[in-house]
Structure 1
Amino acid sequence: MKNFASLLAVAALIFGGSQSADAAKKVHTIGDSTMANYDESATITRGWCQYLQQFLDGIEVNNRGKNGASSKSFYKEAAFWTSVKTQMSPGDYVLIQFAHNDEKTQGMDGDELIAYYKSIGDDAQAAATDYRGTNPSTTYKEYLRKYVTETRDAGCIPILVGPICRMYFSGNDIRRNGRHDLGDNFSKLTSSGVLTSQKVAASDNSMDYVWQMEQVANEMNVPFIDLTTATADLYLSYGDSDCHSILSDGDGSTHLSAVGAALIARRFAGLCREAGVMSEHIRLTSDLSVSPSAADLGRGYVGQTLTKELMVTAFDLTPAAGQLTVTAEGNAEVSTDLTEWSKSASVSYEGGTIIRRFSVRMTLESDNNDAKIIVSAGGKSTEIPVTASAVQLSGGTEVTAYWRLEKDDSYTLSGPATVIP
């Protein structure tokens, strides 16, 4: 997988290029897996920046969130920050959200910890230490400053974004570490070794990544969008059970479902408008909308079935309760669960709000691969064109392989193929 990643890095550097003078303005999003794009056909996990585009007009989202990235690793690994900079043009925005993976070494800097273990001859412990970790008061702030400085050097506008919370409930509150403050339990590297299970008072912000980010924002006169507090408030409004069943992807307390990601993207856009940041591009309409606005299923072989997920959002619908209906015309079918497919599907909504994903599929024919979807709810409707390209091929067997690359290089394989390390 390292060789494969290297090839991707080279491709990004070769083809990234800088934008032409008349290219659309962009907002580049850098951060971790809570922002990243996910394969719609392989997982229900979604990053909130996957849905940011539907709340913006006149600006293009270039989502470069990376699974497992910390402020340090995203900067040091050439395939990421270096390649993002090749895509930036003067006047673009750069959203900077890190902390989740900066906490990998319990508040200590990973490189400093590795150097300490090597100095005492403990090579095994050094090898087992995650270099991505940063200390919130020192190296974390240093990397944030690097992003801000280099973004400005490129003629672009940096925006520091508080990382979304983890769903760590404690009664009617989110625990301190869920808000990225390790003050209740952290480790400290001293000249005599590592001290574990350290604690500081709630008023002590030395181990609070979000507080330290805000200090950098104040120091460097950068907009700070407190998405940490906003997501804590969102999670608490749902409560522990519903938060995990509706907003989470069902695998722990960090990653998001499509509903959670869309809600957070919309809240972020609202916070930007309140702060006067990118306000000319913010679109918080209550109209029924579908993202993406055109379903391009891509290219495949005749007889192959291609699938794409779409997200329907609507707010302040009248009546407040009713049915969302999705109807397919032409050579297409729709599904709300990826199990039952038909020409039409309906789901209920309440509270005047819809944040719902559905999928469209098409089995490719030699021609006639254009279709459309009609989405209706609350007396409103919208049409989405569906397109795909077919390639003629005789014989062969379809093979797919998917690596999530969040925790390790495990994969899922379908078809007669051998996957090598």
Structure 2
Amino acid sequence: MRKWLCLLPLFISTLAQAQAQAQAQTIFMAGDSTMSIKEVKDYPETGWGVPFATFFGDGVKVDNRARNGRSTRTFIEEGRWQGIEKALRPGDYVIIQFGHNDEVEHKTDRYTTPGQYKANLSRFIRESRARGARPLLMTPVTRRYFDEEGKVKHTHPYAALAREVAAAEKVDFIDMEAISRDYFQSQGDEASALRFMHIPPDTHPNYPNGVRDDTHFNQLGAREVAQLVLRELRKMEHPLAGKLREPDPKHLTLKY
């Protein structure tokens, strides 16, 4: 009897941990390279979902299933969406952001027609809701292309289609194409370039010949885009804005 009494605290602790895990909510992320986790060989390229995952407390798990080069069509064809749909539990969240690859017609391995793109987004939203999860749709983040007048170009024709789906499905929605375009526009050409994959030759082992990429973020750009998302969640009073981690008390009193 004493032996069992000694084991009782351990049993209670294990049971409490299991219940906490069962009650934990998951944020699933479905998207492309601008959101995804990267391999070390690709650093410093960083998807905005990486810093975003650090924003939340212990009661929230972020499961980032975005992958480089995926469109809504290939995300389904490869079974990636089905994996999310099967894993969903009531109370979970699904952040959906595609467009970079769907809209590139000459890349036939991933191109998605406008009609199919809208149908796929609607499918993601409806199947999330059917599982008791709450979907959040986003337009793709902007590409960093400035015109001769110093304005960031509109480079996402499918952003308008995502807006149409958001209105039709009455789903939580963040227009990241417009928000990120305005943000990088305010920084200007030179400063905004510091947020993207601009690396001179012979300065990074992953890119010995250098790279100039105005689609993908480095760590700084990814963090700032994640912060833009958080700002919008707060503005719209989304439930996720109430699930952030508690700051260390010393960070509240720091003065620089």
Structure 1 residue 142, shift from structure 2 partner: 0.7
Correspondence for 1:175: 153
Q: Are 1:270 and 1:284, in contact at CA under 8 Å, matched by a contact in 2?
A: no
- Bigger relative contact order (CA 8 A; separation at least 6): 2
Alignment of 1:49-198 (within 5 A): 49-57=49-57, 58-78=59-79, 80-105=80-105, 130-136=108-114, 138-170=115-147, 171-177=149-155, 180-181=156-157
CA RMSD across the alignment: 2.6
Structure 1 residue 217, shift from structure 2 partner: 1.1
> How has the CA–CA distance of structure 1 residues 253 and 42 changed in structure 2, closer, same or farther, with 3 Å as cutoff?
closer
Structure 1 residue 67, shift from structure 2 partner: 0.4
Structure 1 residue 160, shift from structure 2 partner: 0.3
Higher-Rg structure is 1
Q: Give the structure with the higher percent strand.
A: 1
Structure 1 residue 214, shift from structure 2 partner: 1.4
Q: Are 1:55 and 1:265, in contact at CA under 8 Å, matched by a contact in 2?
A: no
Q: Are 1:266 and 1:284, in contact at CA under 8 Å, matched by a contact in 2?
A: no
> How has the CA–CA distance of structure 1 residues 168 and 81 changed in structure 2, closer, same or farther, with 3 Å as cutoff?
same
Matches of 2:181 and 2:250, distance apart in 1: 27
Structure 1 residue 279, shift from structure 2 partner: 2.5
1:268 aligns with 2:215: no
Matches of 1:176 and 1:32, distance apart in 2: 19
Correspondence for 2:241: 279
Correspondence for 2:172: 223
Q: Are 1:89 and 1:156, in contact at CA under 8 Å, matched by a contact in 2?
A: yes
Alignment of 1:200-239 (within 5 A): 209-239=158-188
Which of residues 254, 257, 281 is equivalent to 2:215?
254
Matches of 1:287 and 1:225, distance apart in 2: 31
Structure 1 residue 152, shift from structure 2 partner: 1.0
Correspondence for 1:329: none
Q: Which runs of 5+ in 2 are unaligned?
A: 1-18, 199-211
2:102 match: secondary structure: helix
Q: Are 1:286 and 1:317, in contact at CA under 8 Å, matched by a contact in 2?
A: no
Structure 1 residue 131, shift from structure 2 partner: 3.7
Q: Give the structure with the higher percent helix.
A: 2
Matches of 2:81 and 2:245, distance apart in 1: 28
Structure 1 residue 102, shift from structure 2 partner: 0.6
Structure 1 residue 66, shift from structure 2 partner: 0.5
2:117 match: secondary structure: helix
Matches of 1:42 and 1:233, distance apart in 2: 27
> How has the CA–CA distance of structure 1 residues 133 and 158 changed in structure 2, closer, same or farther, with 3 Å as cutoff?
same
Percent of matched pairs sharing the same residue:
30
2:213 match: secondary structure: coil
Matches of 2:145 and 2:228, distance apart in 1: 20
Letter in 2 for 1:132: R
Correspondence for 1:341: none
Matches of 1:168 and 1:241, distance apart in 2: 12
Structure 1 residue 263, shift from structure 2 partner: 0.6
Correspondence for 1:188: none
> How has the CA–CA distance of structure 1 residues 36 and 132 changed in structure 2, closer, same or farther, with 3 Å as cutoff?
same
2:37 match: secondary structure: coil
* Alignment deviations for residues 5-32 of structure 1 (CA, whole Å, 9 cap, x no partner): xxxxxxxxxxxxxx99724101100000
Structure 1 residue 86, shift from structure 2 partner: 3.0
Matches of 2:170 and 2:249, distance apart in 1: 35
Matches of 1:151 and 1:42, distance apart in 2: 31
